[in-house]
Amino acid sequence: MTRKTQNKTSIGDKILYKVKTPNGWSIIIMPDNILIDNYHINKAHIHPDPNNHACRVDLSLQDCEKIYEIIKDYLNVSNAFDIEELMRMLK
């Protein structure tokens, strides 16, 4: 039996998903399909290019809840989504 939790939050024209499993967690920003997770290498990282999943940037923040809150706050105050700005906030 899988012990998975999933949250879905709408913020403006974005939908923010947070998924936690026993093996790790992920946060997805839709419809941009930006993925932040800690799967495979057990270290939080962002996949800034939805067309190239192999491209990833390690993050200094490791806590899913803190990362989720930073993203939520960013989406609430930002008029335009800028992946570079978000990555600077998470590093």
Q: Classify burial at 86, counting beta carbons within 10 Å of its beta carbon; exposed 0-12, middle 13-18, buried 19 or more.
A: buried
How much is the average pLDDT of 10-26?
A: 96
The one-letter code for the residue type at 47 is H
Question: Where are the chain's structural domains?
Answer: 5-90
pLDDT digits (tens, 9 = 90+) for 42-67: 899 999 999 999 999 999 999 999 99
In this predicted structure, what is the pLDDT of residue 83? Answer: 95
pLDDT digits (tens, 9 = 90+) for 26-47: 999 999 999 999 998 889 999 9
Average pLDDT, rounded, for the chain = 94
Q: Can you tell me whether residue 68 is helix, strand or coil?
A: helix
In angstroms, the CA 26 to CA 21 distance is 9
- pTM here is 0.93
In angstroms, the CA 64 to CA 69 distance is 9
